Chains A and B, each alone.
Chain A
């Protein structure tokens, strides 16, 4: 069975602080993909990153970075120097392959206070 757990329901930080959003997943597949999406109030899902199970390299994109640890089945997301525009709900998702259904976590609502 596939499952994604985002234990943090809501997080509030003051602008310019760093924040890490946690994601833990469960799967029996040896090949799988992990995703992070941002959902602003408009509702549209904004793709942030895709990672396949064979690539454990951490990735940095501007203020965003991701830490993929297969040993702990975690795929955490860090925003450095947070900004008000980062306020949104962030979803971590798992898929057996990119063309299959996604299993979403329950989301973490991030509020960045100016």
Chain B
């Protein structure tokens, strides 16, 4: 089946620094990728929808200047947490939309393994 990878799997950084998280679709092209955030013992909440070649769409309450999303190619989306603070410590999960052979009724979504961010 389709695979989505995330890098890094775990990152620790100092407050005020920026962190970049990569999400790659390994064997399919993803025109759309989603970024979710999960705080400890909570559910996954959508942060933004990333479309290749265009600006990301952010959910209400998510600061677009703080969480920069770049979907520069059909297999890569990046999330940069700028000037990270301890409250940004969370588990970030991406998912990628696969439309096999352009057949939309077959489309499905695959989740990456997640990235744990700890801001000290």
Contact = CB atoms under 8 A, between A and B. Distances in A.
Interface of A: 37, 42-45, 47, 50, 91, 95, 97-99, 101-102, 104-107, 109
Contact of A45 (B34, B108, B111): B111
Interface SS of chain B: helix, strand, loop or mixed? strand
Given A91-B43, A106-B42, A99 B49 contact: no
Given A91-B43, A107-B43, A99 B97 contact: yes
Interface in B19-52: 32, 34, 36, 38, 41-46, 49
Contacts of B38: 43
A107 to B, nearest CB: 6
Contact of B113 (A43, A102, A109): A43
A99 B43 contact: no
B95 interface: yes
Contacts of B84: none
Contacts of A107: 42-43
Given A43-B113, A44-B114, A104 B43 contact: yes
A6 to B, nearest CB: 9
B74 interface: no
* Chain A to chain B: the 6 pairs with minimum beta-carbon distance, closest first: A99-B107, A44-B113, A99-B97, A45-B111, A43-B114, A98-B108
Contact of B95 (A97, A102, A105): A102
Contacts of B91: 43
